[in-house]
């Protein structure tokens, strides 16, 4: 479990928190009887930050990329 995996878990937690904050915000708007026009700015920032963390983890955790050419020496065991 390296740094990339930990950052991926942190990214998923940030995305889950952004989803919870949006649901909570919509509930508040229903109580105040206002129309939902979009999520607040802090939720948008959380979504973008979580997306970046999850993308970084998805690219770093699986390992090195290998050649897709069938005759490549990298594909030999």
pLDDT for 76 beyond 70: no
67 pLDDT more than 90: no
pLDDT of residue 44: 94
Residue 58 makes CB contacts below 8 A (sequence gap 6+) with: 8
Among all chains, which residue has been given the structure tokens 């889950």? 16
pLDDT given at position 71: 74
Measure the CA–CA gap between 77 and 69, rounded to whole angstroms: 15
Give the model confidence (pLDDT) of 9-63 as tens digits.
Answer: 999 999 999 999 999 999 999 999 888 888 889 999 999 999 999 999 988 877 7
Query: Helix (H, G, I), strand (E, B), or coil: what is residue 20?
Result: helix
pTM of the shown model: 0.75
């Amino acid at each position: 479990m390296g740094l990339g995996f930990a950052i991926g878990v942190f990214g998923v937690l940030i995305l889950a928190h952004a989803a919870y904050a949006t649901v909570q915000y919509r509930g508040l708007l229903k109580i105040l009887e206002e129309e939902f026009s979009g999520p607040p700015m802090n939720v948008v920032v959380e979504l973008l930050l979580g997306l970046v963390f999850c993308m970084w983890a998805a690219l770093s955790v699986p390992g090195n990329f290998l050649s897709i050419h069938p005759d490549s020496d990298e594909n030999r065991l």
